Amino acid sequence: MKAVIPAAGLGTRFLPATKAQPKEMLPVFNKPTIQYVVEEAVASGIDDILIITGKGKRSIEDHFDRSFELEFFLKNSGKIDHLVEIEAISNMADIYYVRQKEQKGLGDAIRCAKKHVDGDPFAVLLGDTITQNSTPCTQRLLEIHEKYQSSAIAIERVPREKIERYGIIKGHEVEKSVYHIEDMVEKPSLNEAPSDLAITGRYILQPEIFDHLEQVSPGVGGEIQLTDAMRLLDDIYGYVFPGRIYDIGTTVEWLKSSLDMALEDPQVGHELREYLKKIIQ
């Protein structure tokens, strides 16, 4: 199985931070966001990863490349822990890149993966979304894909005021936390939303999706929407992911993700907790 990580968006919700750096490279605690995403794919057993980039995203490639100068410096100065960590980043997986040439939406970005995926089912992990759970979200989706021999996507319940930001599904539960999806709609108004179950940025897709992506017309925002193409798949299941999900494209979610991870860190967690207690009083 191969994974595709779309990371081509402009990050307009996070300007000016994203003016000259990709949102996927914004650090969450001590790592760039996209490193968590690649680590999830690897932890789920996937080591062939295609990242869909675009203009201004070169630092993503640099991050997963070797840095001989840095490695030399760390070795010579005896910073072996850092050296091991830095080398591990470039050895994690086989990472390939393709550029989306115009901002035509998530569906169009996925279309750029067609040749690399080469007719097999594949995983999609949005490059600006971090999930956390003892069993990685993508691993669980792979199990569901295997069991039902069909596409599988992660979903979560969202509060009413957030519904308009997501793709929303209509479906019925077939086993605990697994829904058979009957329909879905991208960024519906509250009235049109068929449920409060939102698509959350992790997918296993059957290769037929590429034919459907050719068929759909531009949807919400004039963009080719992945959700519109997924509606045309024969069968698709939704898994209510029980872990934490952060869409770091929004400032508040990004702050929450950094705080949560820093609070769990054995080195800085205690100090941060004390600081937060003090400023919240």
**Interface residue list for ligand G1P (CB under 6 A):** 106, 126, 129, 166-167, 186, 198-201, 225-227, 247
Least distance (Å) from ligand G1P to the CB of residue 220? 8
- Distance between CA 241 and CA 198 in Å, rounded? 11
Least distance (Å) from ligand G1P to the CB of residue 170? 14
* Cα dihedral sign, 171-172-175-177: positive
25 vs 224 by CB, closer to ligand G1P? 224
30 vs 251 by CB, closer to ligand G1P? 251
Least distance (Å) from ligand G1P to the CB of residue 150? 18
Evaluate whether 168 touches 184 at the Cβ level (below 8 Å): yes
252 vs 280 by CB, closer to ligand G1P? 252
106 vs 204 by CB, closer to ligand G1P? 106
Main-chain phi, psi angles of 220, to 5 degrees? -50, 135
Question: Which ranges of the chain does DSSP label H, i.e. alpha helix?
Answer: 33-43, 58-64, 68-76, 80-91, 106-111, 114-117, 137-148, 209-215, 226-230, 251-264, 269-280
Least distance (Å) from ligand G1P to the CB of residue 158? 9
Helices (H) and strands (E) in the chain, counts: 11, 13
Least distance (Å) from ligand G1P to the CB of residue 67? 31
Burial 130-140 (b: 16+ CB within 10 A, else e): bbbeeebbbbb
74 vs 109 by CB, closer to ligand G1P? 109
Residue nearest to ligand G1P (CB): 167
